[in-house]
């Protein structure tokens, strides 16, 4: 009986020790992960940057810079133009944009189109922070004599989580960006009135309530073309 109690006691201590070690290891790992910048928590960030480093292009007239809305189409073919380089990364946030501006600088473009913000909002990054990131980004691009064109953040569809609240935040963000663009004489493209109804992305123009389908891009492309022509390209 005594031996049995001793064995059970030792097993209990061992089990508690194992559980304690697992808890410390798990929560320490989670804490470290959560302390990573949001942009590094996106698996596409380093993955896509690896390809950008591999590419041999050293000059482009135009860079399409931002998140999956930029990434999601072949701009050379869509615009029937050479010298248009895509530097979009799926899931990227504006802090990530700032961390990889060299990808734009190294191409020495005349014009850079920038679009993002929705991933920030879904990561609960405040609008004020997103706007500050945009300001800094534009200033750095302009310091290299690159003309910036800002594209409005698109609303999301009803099939996206918390769509109503996020679309309210999109409205606030776009108002800030539009006012900034007007003040700084920066071209601002907003296709929301074309692809949305009552500040909700129309299902006719999206594959999942977030990303544009071909019909959505068909409305965006002419606006991009107008901006290029206005900049002598």
Task: Write b or e for each residue in 99-134: b if 16 or more Cβ atoms lie within 10 A of its Cβ, otherwise e.
Answer: bbbebbbebebbbbbbbbbbbbbbeebebeebbebb
Average pLDDT per block of 10 residues along the chain, 233 residues long: 50 43 40 74 94 96 98 96 97 98 98 98 97 98 98 97 97 98 98 97 97 98 98 94
Task: List the structure tokens of 132.
Answer: 């500050």
| Whole-number Å distance between alpha carbons of 135 and 122 | 20
For residue 29, the tally of other CB atoms under 10 A from its CB is 10
Q: What is the pLDDT of residue 3?
A: 52
Q: Exposure of 203 by Cβ count < 10 A (0-12 exposed, 13-18 middle, 19+ buried)?
A: middle
Q: Cα 145 to chain center, whole Å?
A: 24
Query: Structure tokens of 70?
Result: 């930029």
pLDDT for 19: 38
Predicted pLDDT at 4: 52
pTM for the full predicted model: 0.84
């Amino acid at each position: 009986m005594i031996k049995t109690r001793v064995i059970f006691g030792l097993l209990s201590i061992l089990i508690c020790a194992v559980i304690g070690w697992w808890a410390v290891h798990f929560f320490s790992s989670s804490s470290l992960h959560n302390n990573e910048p949001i942009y590094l928590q996106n698996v596409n960030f380093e993955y896509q940057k690896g390809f950008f480093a591999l590419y041999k292009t050293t000059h482009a007239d135009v860079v399409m810079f931002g998140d999956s809305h930029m990434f999601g189409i072949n701009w050379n073919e869509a615009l029937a133009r050479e010298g248009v380089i895509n530097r979009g990364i799926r899931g990227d946030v504006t802090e990530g944009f700032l961390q990889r501006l060299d990808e734009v600088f190294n191409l020495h473009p005349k014009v850079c189109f920038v679009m993002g913000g929705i991933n920030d909002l879904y990561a609960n990054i405040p609008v004020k922070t997103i706007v500050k990131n945009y300001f800094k980004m534009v200033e750095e691009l302009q310091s290299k004599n690159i003309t910036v064109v800002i594209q409005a953040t698109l609303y999301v569809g009803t099939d996206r989580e918390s769509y109503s609240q996020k679309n309210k935040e999109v409205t606030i963000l776009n108002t800030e960006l539009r006012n900034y663009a007007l003040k700084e004489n920066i071209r601002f493209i907003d296709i929301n009135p074309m692809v949305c109804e009552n500040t909700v992305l129309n299902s006719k123009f999206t594959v999942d309530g977030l990303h544009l389908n071909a019909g959505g891009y068909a409305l965006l492309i002419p606006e991009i073309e107008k901006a290029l022509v206005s900049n002598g390209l």
